[in-house]
Amino acid sequence: MFLGADIVQWLMKNLSIEDPGEAIHLGSLIAAQGYIFPISDHVLSLKDDGTFYRFQAPYFWPSNCWEPENTDYAIYLCKRTMQNKARLELADYEAENLARLQRAFARKWEFIFMQAEAQVKIDRKKDKTERKILDSQERAFWDVHRPVPGCVNTTEMDIRKCRRMKNPQKVKKSVYGITEDSQSQSPVHTPAQAVRKTTKDDLHKQISFLNLQIDRHCLKMSKVAESLISYSEQYVEYDPLLTQPEPSNPWNTDDTTLWDLESRLSKDPSQQRVKRWGFSMDEVLKDPVGRDQFLRFLESEFSSENLRFWLAVQDLKKRPLQEVADRIQEIWQEFLAPGAPSAINLDSHSYEKTSQNVKDPGRYTFEDAQEHIYKLMKSDSYARFLRSNAYQDLLQARRKVAFSQD
Amino acid sequence: MGEMEQLRQEAEELKKQIADARKACADTTLSQVTSSMEVVGRIQMRTRRTLRGHLAKIYAMHWSTDSRYCCSHQKPVRLFEWDCERGRELGVLPLQVLFQGVCFWDPPKSKQVCSSSCAKPSVVFRRRVRISFVRCNDATSCLLGYLSCCRFLDDNQIVTSSGDTTCVLWDIETGTQKCVFVGHTGDCMSLAVAPDFRLFISGACDATAKLWDIREGMCRQTFIGHESDINAICFFPNGNAICTGSDDATCRLFDLRADQELVAYSHESIICGITSVAFSKSGRLLLAGYDDFNCNTWDSMKGERVGVLSGHDNRVSCLGVTSDGMAIATGSWDSFLKIWN
């Protein structure tokens, strides 16, 4: 037996924990699972004080994967009522449980009663102090598997994992060594799927997959680390959890100005937002206001066909299947067919490939062409857009307004 | 030497080459590179809203793309929609199927919600905010296992992950499977779609995460390193790295271009599994929900824990960051949804 405070100290020392609250939390978890328990309380949690705790016997450890049946619980409660000791009296919720089980097992009750009697006889033969310890350990075991109402049942599992069917470690044997012929099959435990043996085909597939992997070029860790760091640093001002947003976070102040400003229909984008368009072309394309600005700029230069093609193909990919074939024809006519009104500039290779694809239409018909145009826009149109007066004006817009308001 | 044996040896040889190539690329660790980075400081978040109304364990939640509404569901079987700002329910949809796996929200235009079931694999769709049942598609009964997660790609396509170890791309209109992604050897527990919608990742009970090409229908990369079931997975905001959360009490960051693990987020005092992960808008903060009723905030670059969100009375089963990054929602088996920032 030992004190709660001792456990907290031990945890902090051996697991390098600085915060006592953390140690208490961890200790409570261990207690809730049933490895240690308070000797005079049904509630399994750790207190950093003079409360006495005891270790659970290995027989009762959760690592043995017990799934005790209600019959065992009934035997346990019955046994308790037979022992005339004040300290072993049933608590209210236990009395209720016993009554409920008596109704449920009405037919088997004689059997249960006999088992309980047998258990009591065995216990009487044991040494007094030993019995006291065993009793408290048994009680703690049931506190884990049939917790006090209001406590969390730590033996509960995620239903998805329950359905995983292959848990051979779960022991269906009785805590008190009783053999039950009629073990009810839980509907959740369906028979496990037979494991397929690896075939030659599987190995061939695996090998071709591995060959592909080898061909792929790995980047160095230092390089990728740098790129992740620079991304997070660039965007830190856009992360409301790290930088206070202007004017305020709507969740904190109940002031929704920020959301109104950011709303997609906003005609007056903030400087911060405009600045973001300069990070990469993807940012411009993601933001509807940015897209709009980009398009207008290109139209003013009479070179908007590339962007319009790209947007049309993006839209195509989201269309319902029945509309796809028609849209493909429309796009072809508008952008690619000889004499098209908005002819885009594709290299001959991509053009050939695309005209082949059009004969067998699908959502990805224009994929190659789109990639080519994307690269073109990135190196040419996008760079010009960032240098343009229109963009620069927006970027400085607030300042201009501020000056004019003076 | 039999052909099987030869093939096996060939495969082992290739695996070794790949491992060597990875090692050659590992010229440093993320913690070394970030050692000179500024510390983020202790992040303390407070509960801004508590959404009450569920009467049972919440299993999943998802934010709408306009970051103001979310939906959540519980076992037994009720789909809730919340106006998070005002902290009240918009509607409750009781559903016929026995268990529910997950639910979520799609682009604001058509406001679809998809919910997938555990017992009888079927996918349910709904349009409009108010409760109106549009379709329950039974074509999915050709799945052999439960559905664990699903995500919309656009108004017409959904990707789902299933307990029969496959992921499937569905066409919503026709209710047919357009592509089946085979490769995992354990139940697929969750998936996430890349920011460019061309790829997606899945985490499974075989302790691996796989990157799939939606168009090609094949696996591009496999990430190993975890020691137990992977329960949760998500992309870093720029789509170049992924984070996984597992029953082995660690979250790991894998980079797609370096093809290996960059860092593992763990601490000696954390011994329970992770149920859900999400990044903040800049990717600097990683939020992870645990079985020990807490949610931890990690500095993703330095690999240190910088905060704890405690307040739930039972396991945190799901969490999500709004798309504008303003707040986080956590859902728990204690039947409450909390919004934090």
Q: With helix as H, strand as E and coil as C, how does chain B read?
A: CCHHHHHHHHHHHHHHHHHHHHHHHCCCCHHHHHHHCCCCCCCCCCEEEEECCCCCCEEEEEECCCCCEEEEEECCCEEEEEECCCCEEEEEEECCCCCEEEEEECCCCCCCEEEEECCCCCEEEECCCCCCEEEEEHHHHHCCCCEEEEEEEECCEEEEEECCCCEEEEECCCCEEEEEECCCCCCEEEEEECCCCCEEEEEECCCCEEEEECCCCEEEEEECCCCCCEEEEEECCCCCEEEEEECCCCEEEEECCCCEEEEEECCCCCCCCEEEEEECCCCCEEEEEECCCCEEEEECCCCEEEEEECCCCCCEEEEEECCCCCCEEEEECCCCEEEEC
CB contact under 8 A, B238 and A231: yes
pLDDT the model gives residue B49: 86
| Gap from B314 CA to chain A (nearest CA, Å) | 7
Strand partners, B89: B82
Q: With contacts defined as CB-CB under 8 Å, which chain B residues touch A320?
A: 155-156, 173
**B49 and chain A in contact, CB less than 8 A:** yes
Task: Return the CA Rg of chain B.
Answer: 20
Chain B contacts in chain A segment 314-333 (CB below 8 A) = 317-322
Question: Which of B22, B75, B257 has its CB closest to that of A224?
Answer: B257
pLDDT tens digit sequence for B271-313 = 899 999 999 999 999 999 999 899 999 999 999 999 999 889 8
pLDDT of residue B104: 53
Enumerate the residues of chain B whose CB falls inside 8 A of the CB of residue A228.
Answer: 30, 236, 238, 240-241, 255, 262, 283, 301
Query: CB distance from A90 to chain B under 8 Å?
Result: no
B220 lies in some domain: no
Residue of A188, A186, A187, A180 whose CA lies nearest to A71? A180
Residue with more model confidence, A402 or A298: A298
Q: Where are the domains of chain A?
A: 2-55, 70-145, 262-397
Residues 180-209 of B with CB under 8 A from A: 187, 189, 196, 205
Task: Return the pLDDT at A303.
Answer: 86
Give B175's pLDDT tier (boundaries 50, 70, 90).
low
Quick check: B232 pLDDT over 60?
yes
Residues with Cβ < 8 Å from B14, sequence gap 6 or more?
A207, A210, A211, A213, A214
For chain A, percent of residues with pLDDT exceeding 90: 7
Within 10 A of A47 (CB to CB), how many other CB atoms are there? 19
Global pTM value:
0.80
Residue B334 within any structural domain of the chain: yes
The boundaries of the domain holding residue B60 are: 48-77+314-340
* pLDDT of B212 above 50: yes
Predicted confidence at residue B254, as pLDDT, reads 95
Q: Is residue B204 part of a domain?
A: no
Do the chains contact at B269 and A214, CB–CB below 8 Å? no
Q: Which of A159, A227, A236 sits opposite B240 (nearest CB)?
A: A227
Tokens of A247: 């004017």
**Which of the four pLDDT bands, split at 50, 70 and 90, describes residue B77?**
low
Among candidates B25, B187, B271 on the partner chain, residue whose Cβ is nearest the Cβ of A220: B25
Q: Which residues of B80-98 are buried (b: 16+ CB within 10 A; e: fewer)?
A: bbbebbeeeebbebebebe
Whether A70-145 and A2-55 are alike in CATH topology: the answer is: no
C-alpha A79/C-alpha A115 separation (Å) is 9
Q: How many domains does chain B have?
A: 1
- Percentage of chain B modeled with pLDDT above 70: 77
The helix (H) or strand (E) run that includes residue A55 is strand A52-55
Length of chain B: 341
Q: From the CA atom positions of chain A, what is the Rg in Å?
A: 36
Residues of chain A positioned with their CB less than 8 A from the CB of B3: 200
Average pLDDT over residues A19-43: 82
At residue B84, does pLDDT exceed 60? yes
What is the rounded average pLDDT for all residues in chain A?
80
Residue A187 pLDDT greater than 60, yes or no: no
When pLDDT is cut at 50, 70 and 90, the band that residue B115 belongs to is: low
Whether residues A200 and B262 touch (CB distance < 8 A) is answered with no
B85 vs A315, more confident: A315
**Residue B98 placed within a domain:** no
B-chain residues within 8 Å CB-CB of A234?
282
Contacts of A204 in chain B (CB under 8 A): 7
Rounded-to-integer distance, Cα B192 and Cα B210, Å: 11
Res. A210: pLDDT tops 90: no
State residue A135's pLDDT score. Answer: 82
Chain A hits for B271, CB-CB cut-off 8 Å, are 26, 29
CA B200, chain centre distance (Å):
11
Contact A29 B29 (CB under 8 A): no
A 249-288: CB under 8 A from B: 249-252, 256, 259, 262, 282
pLDDT reported for residue A22? 84
In this complex, the residue of A11, A210, A234 whose CB is nearest that of residue B18 is A210
- Say which residue, B80 or B139, is predicted with more confidence: B80
What percentage of residues in chain A have a pLDDT greater than 70?
Answer: 84
| Chain A residues close to B68, C-beta within 8 Å | 259
**Cβ B292–A29 below 8 Å, yes or no?**
yes
Q: Assess contact for B206 and B164: CB atoms under 8 A.
A: no
pLDDT above 50: residue A32: yes
**Which residues, 6+ apart, have CB-to-CB distance to B209 below 8 Å?**
B201, B202, B203, B222, B223, B226, B230, B233, B242, B244, B254
Q: What value, to the nearest 5°, has the Cα angle with vertex A143 and ends A139 and A144?
A: 125
What are A356-385's pLDDT values in tens digits? 888 888 888 888 899 999 999 999 999 999
Which residue among A158, A219, A236 sits closest to B25, beta carbon to beta carbon? Answer: A219
Q: Does B328 reside within a domain?
A: yes
pLDDT at A195 exceeding the cut of 70: no
What topology does CATH give the domain A2-55? Arc Repressor Mutant, subunit A (1.10.10)
CATH architecture for segment(s) A70-145:
Orthogonal Bundle (1.10)
Q: Please report how the helices A200-215 and B3-25 are oriented relative to each other, as an axis angle in degrees rounded to 10.
A: 20
The complex's ipTM?
Answer: 0.84
- Rounded mean pLDDT of B117-129? 45
In this prediction, residues A238-262 reach a mean pLDDT of 80
Q: Which CATH superfamily is domain A262-397 in?
A: Regulator of G-protein Signalling 4, domain 2 (1.10.167.10)
CA distance A301 to A257: 35
Q: Which residues of B touch A317 (CB under 8 A)?
A: 154
Q: Decide the pairing of beta strands B100-105 and B88-94.
A: unpaired
Determine how many CB atoms are found less than 10 A away from the CB of residue A311. Answer: 14
pLDDT value for A165: 46
Chain B hits for A208, Cβ within 8 Å: none
